[in-house]
Amino acid sequence: MRAVIVEDEEFAAKRLGQMVNELAPEIHVETTLNSVESGTQWFSINEQPDLIFLDIQLNDGYGFDILDDLKEHPPVIFTTAYNEFAIRGFKYNGLDYLLKPIVKEDLKKALEKFKKNITRNGNGATENLEHLKQLFHKEYKHRFMVKVGNMFKSFNVGDIAYFKSHEGMIFLYTHMGQHYPIEYTIDQLENILNPIHFFRINRKFMVSVKAVTEIHSYFNSRLLLKILPKEEEQVIVSRERTTNFKRWLDM
């Protein structure tokens, strides 16, 4: 069986190829492509492989752009640096994803799934692909309007350090130390903020990556954070979110 890797990080591509060779020697990685341009060109003149490992976000566009030029395509295993909250709920028939840095056990399961379903992409998988494309092209919120006295003020998302739930209200905290109540819930914020920049660490806090200054181990497999502006209350990453939080910081 033939496979193609589309990945713009040289080390990641080489490591993935080595793991595929180790876990499934019957799958031959025919070539590694590092851009939408090179991918589009290669698929236009070569016979399609049996499997594609496709990085979702490449330096010159989205991996989806390569697939858009194909009338049909073989099974695709997506690779992505996005955290799991960005793609939660999206497990596809005939498709799978690997979160970078790729864990060998995850790759093994994806390959087993592929070998059990060696079929060309059907209508159901196509519909799922469209759903995934919409997710990664999603527009996230850029600004928040807050009331300051009798006036209204707009804050860019980049100005916001974190959000905190307090006494039934949600407060927006800026990097400058200002804080204002907003009419959103933490659940709503989790859906409208870009998960690359913000992470919900527990039921009360959603923090930006820029606000985190220190990370300490805490009892019961949790993490204790120091954030700016300084928060008097302990800022703790819940146990069930610790693994994904580490992956989020490592993207």
| CATH number, domain containing residue 108 | 3.40.50.2300
168-205 per-position pLDDT tens digit: 999 999 999 999 999 999 999 988 998 888 999 999 99
Of all helices (H) and strands (E), which one includes residue 9? none
Q: Are residues 168 and 116 in the same domain?
A: no
**C-alpha distance from residue 250 to each of 77, 83, 119, 176, 238 (Å):** 21, 10, 34, 26, 18
Q: What pLDDT, on a 0 to 100 scale, did the predictor assign at position 120?
A: 46
Backbone angles phi, psi at 197, to 5 degrees: -105, -25
Q: Looking at 136, 152, 180, which one is the last position of a domain?
A: 136
- Tell whether 15 and 129 lie within a shared domain: yes
Considering only residues 236 and 65, tell me which one the structure prediction assigns the higher pLDDT.
236
Residue whose tokens read 């990097």: 175
Q: Are residues 240 and 153 in the same domain?
A: yes
Q: What is the largest CA-CA distance in the chain?
A: 69
Split at pLDDT 50, 70, 90, the class of 39 is very high
Residue 17 has pLDDT above 70, yes or no: yes
Rounded to an integer, what distance in angstroms lies between the CA atom of residue 195 and that of residue 164?
A: 17
At residue 92, does pLDDT exceed 60?
no
Mean of the pLDDT values across residues 88-93? Answer: 40
The whole-number pLDDT of residue 34 equals: 95
**Each residue of 120-142: pLDDT tens digit?**
444 445 555 666 666 666 678 99
148-to-65, 152, 165, 174, 178 alpha-carbon distances in Å: 44, 6, 19, 14, 11
pLDDT digits (tens, 9 = 90+) for 141-178: 999 999 888 899 999 999 999 999 999 999 999 999 99
The residue from 136, 159, 193 where one domain ends is 136
Residue pointed to by tokens 């858009």: 68
159 and 121 together in one domain: no
Identify the residue with better confidence: 117 or 83.
Answer: 117
Q: Are strands 28-33 and 2-6 parallel, antiparallel or unpaired?
A: parallel
CATH number at residue 232: 2.40.50.1020
Q: Which two tokens stand for residue 201?
A: 């660490």
One domain for residues 122 and 152: no
Q: Do 82 and 47 reside in the same domain of the chain?
A: yes
Domain termination site, one of 84, 117, 136: 136
Pair (49, 96) in one structural domain: yes
Residue 105: count other Cβ atoms within 10 Å of its Cβ. 9
In the chain, what percentage of residues exceed pLDDT 90?
56
Angle at 94 between CA 48 and CA 53, to 5 degrees: 50
Judge if 102 and 125 occupy the same domain.
Answer: yes
89: left (phi over 0), alpha (psi -120 to 50) or beta: left
Instruction: Give 149: exposed, middle or buried? Use CB within 10 Å, 0-12, 13-18, 19+.
Output: exposed
Do 158 and 222 belong together in one domain?
A: yes
pLDDT band at residue 225, thresholds of 50, 70 and 90?
very high
Pairing of β 76-80 and β 95-99:
parallel
45 and 125 in one domain?
A: yes
**Structural domain for 216, as ranges:** 143-249
Do residues 110 and 163 make contact, with C-beta atoms less than 8 angstroms apart?
no
Same domain, 47 and 18: yes
Residue 49 CA to residue 71 CA, distance in Å, equals 14
- pLDDT tens, position by position, 60-75: 888 888 988 887 888 8
Q: How many domains does the chain have?
A: 2
Q: Note the pLDDT of residue 137.
A: 61
| pLDDT score at 122 | 44
Same domain for 12 and 120: yes
